[in-house]
């Protein structure tokens, strides 16, 4: 592994749904501690790119490298290093907000996550709702809990699809500040967003996608 390799390199990425290309020859690199925002209209292919990176869509061509190595050859490392939030999460109906975060932290090797969980619940504004079951949270609160699940585990790369969804103004401000802190801690961030305030506040670069004809 080269020390100079970017955290993430996407080279000549192509993706088809059936025979229809939605991504053609997309290339960009993301360094440690930096953020790239994928921008563009509905249907431009932002989610598809993120899915290729987290492995839930299969590229037709191109390479995706994490720290210089093909991401598929690093399945274990990807699981360890890449925290993502692409879709709405399915929560366990009988586990409280705090229990979800506790479970995930322990699953990722943190044997005593209590303080981390409390801090994170406070950060996302869910401390008062810590013992509530997911079904009793508002949709914005569930979104905050989903974001917290990506932040309660170790990560070198954060992959987020429209993380601003359903957050109120204060929530988007918190998110921007939190993502800036993530960058300072060395985490790289790739996110798709329609929120220009969030993009301006967080992204070092934007990659603009357009729907293919
Ligand atoms: N599972 C699928 N099967 C077929 N076509 C798909 C599938 N998923 C997405 N597409 C198509 O691929 C194109 C890109 O979709 P994608 O969801 O990646 O766009 P997006 O930029 O994330 O859009 P949005 O801003 O609406 O979230 C669209 O034309 C969409 O209809």
Q: Give the model confidence (pLDDT) of 140-177 as tens digits.
A: 999 999 999 999 999 999 999 999 999 999 999 999 99
Alpha-carbon distance 203 to 185, whole Å? Answer: 15
Residue 46 CB–ligand 1 contact under 6 Å: yes
Using alpha carbons, select from 194, 196, 183 the residue that is nearest to residue 156.
Answer: 183
Q: Domain for residue 213, yes or no?
A: no
Give me the pLDDT at residue 199, please: 98
Give the CATH number, domain containing residue 106: 3.40.50.300
Give, using CA atoms, the residue closest to atom 2 of ligand 1. 17
Alpha-carbon distance 210 to 22, whole Å? Answer: 9
Distance 51 CA to ligand 1 centre (A): 11
Residue 45 CB–ligand 1 contact under 6 Å: yes
Q: Domain for residue 25, yes or no?
A: yes
How many domains does the chain divide into? 1
Alpha-carbon distance 141 to 171, whole Å? Answer: 10
Q: Give the model confidence (pLDDT) of 4-51 as tens digits.
A: 789 999 999 999 999 999 999 999 999 999 999 999 999 999 999 999
Distance 5 CA to ligand 1 centre (A): 30
The whole domain housing 31 covers: 8-208
Residue 121 CB–ligand 1 contact under 6 Å: no
Average pLDDT, the chain: 93
Give, using CA atoms, the residue closest to atom 13 of ligand 1. 43
Distance 46 CA to ligand 1 centre (A): 8
Q: Domain for residue 2, yes or no?
A: no
Q: Give the model confidence (pLDDT) of 121-135 as tens digits.
A: 999 999 999 999 999
Q: How many CB atoms lie within 10 A of CB 127?
A: 14
Residue 22 CB–ligand 1 contact under 6 Å: yes
| C-alpha radius of gyration, the chain, whole number | 17
Give me the pLDDT at residue 79, please: 77
pLDDT band at 2, cuts 50/70/90? very low
Q: Domain for residue 3, yes or no?
A: no
Contact 10, 188 (CB under 8 A): no
């Amino acid at each position: 592994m080269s020390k100079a390799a970017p955290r993430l390199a996407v080279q000549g990425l192509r993706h088809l749904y059936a025979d229809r290309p939605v991504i053609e020859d997309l290339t960009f690199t993301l360094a440690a501690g930096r953020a790239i925002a994928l921008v563009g209209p509905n249907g431009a292919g932002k989610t598809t790119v993120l899915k290729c990176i987290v492995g839930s869509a299969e590229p037709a061509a191109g390479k995706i490298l994490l720290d210089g190595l093909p991401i598929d050859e690093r399945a274990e490392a990807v699981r360890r290093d890449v925290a993502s939030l692409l879709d709405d999460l399915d929560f366990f109906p009988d586990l409280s907000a705090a229990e979800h975060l506790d479970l995930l932290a322990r699953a990722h090797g943190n044997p005593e996550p209590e303080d981390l969980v409390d801090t994170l619940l406070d950060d996302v504004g869910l401390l008062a709702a810590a013992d509530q079951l997911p079904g009793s949270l508002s949709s914005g609160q569930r979104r905050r809990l989903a974001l917290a699940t990506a932040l309660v585990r170790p990560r070198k790369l954060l992959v987020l699809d429209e993380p601003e969804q359903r957050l109120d103004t204060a929530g988007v401000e918190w998110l921007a500040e939190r993502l800036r802190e993530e960058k300072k801690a060395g985490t790289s961030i790739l996110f798709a967003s329609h929120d220009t305030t969030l993009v301006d506040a967080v992204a070092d670069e934007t990659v603009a996608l357009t729907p293919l004809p």
